[in-house]
Chain A
């Protein structure tokens, strides 16, 4: 069964450093997402991406965040200057069709620890 894959599984970084989290969505999917989950809390929407552009973003997704689909297979989340409060599990997700049809598939997550 195809899966969304994410790397790295865990990254530790110093405050102020740039971080890039990588995702390979399922190959025939068209909609891509980043969510985050602070330890013990709910899953929060960050950004959605379709047709090579951001379709929606949350208040969390400020100027420090960016997403890119550089080569037709990878989907990356960049945090330019990390803050302590960016420590969380970041989930990539993808979907074949529009959001209200079918299942959203999540990756295993990338745990980011900012020191």
Chain B
């Protein structure tokens, strides 16, 4: 089945700098890649997603890139703010599966 690896496990950046989180997946049939943000004690919430027919997607300060050949995708957050501090999870799903497989999570801390 699908296996998703996520790096780094923790990331600390200065406010205003950019943050990049990377994920790799194993199943070449996977075609949907969402990113979830989870604040402490809260539910995971979708922040951006990308499908395999697109190489990049952007939403204000957040962007996701996908390299199907290399089977990896990345989350980019620019101009980071303290409220970006949270745990971020990548996930992958294939067209036939009924589930998302999550990465291990990245704890992002924005230092003021």
Q: A55 CA to B98 CA in the complex, in Å? A: 7
Q: Which of B59-112 contact A (CB under 8 A)?
A: 89, 93-95, 97-105
Contact of B99 among A42, A56, A103 (CB under 8 A): A56
How many A-B Cβ pairs are below 8 Å?
53
- Expressed in whole angstroms, the Cα–Cα distance for A42 and B105 within the complex equals 6
B-contact 0/1 string along A76-115, CB 8 Å cutoff: 0000000000000001000000011001101111000000
Query: Digit string of A43-69 for contact with B (CB within 8 Å is 1, else 0)?
Result: 111001010000110100000000000
Q: Which of A55, A58, A99 has the most CB of B within 10 A?
A: A99
> In the assembled complex, how far is the CB of residue B62 from the closest CB belonging to chain A, in whole angstroms?
15
Number of interface residues, chain A, beta carbon within 8 A = 21
CB-based nearest A residue for B6: A42
CA distance A106 to B8 in the complex (A): 24
Q: Assuming A91-B44, A100-B32, A108-B43, is B100 touching A42 (CB within 8 A)?
A: no
Of A42, A48, A106, the residue contacting B45 (CB under 8 A) is A106
With A41-B104, A42-B89 known as contacts, the answer to whether A99 contacts B98 (CB < 8 A) is yes
State whether the Cβ of B18 lies closer than 8 Å to any Cβ in chain A. Answer: no
Q: Report if A31 contacts B (CB, 8 A).
A: yes
CB distance from A113 to the nearest CB of B (A): 14
A31 to chain B: which residues have CB within 8 Å? 98
Q: Pick from A48, A50, A55, A106: contact of B43, CB below 8 A.
A: A106
Q: Is the CB of A43 within 8 A of B49?
A: no
In the assembled complex, A75 has its CB within 8 A of some CB on chain B: no
Q: Is A107 a contact partner of B43 (Cβ separation < 8 A)?
A: yes
22 A–B contact pairs at CB < 8 A?
A33-B99, A41-B105, A42-B103, A42-B104, A44-B102, A45-B100, A56-B97, A56-B98, A56-B99, A58-B99, A91-B43, A99-B98, A99-B100, A100-B32, A100-B93, A100-B94, A100-B95, A103-B34, A106-B44, A106-B45, A108-B43, A109-B43
Seen from chain B, the residues whose Cβ lies within 8 Å of a Cβ on chain A are: 31-32, 34, 36, 42-46, 49, 51, 89, 93-95, 97-105
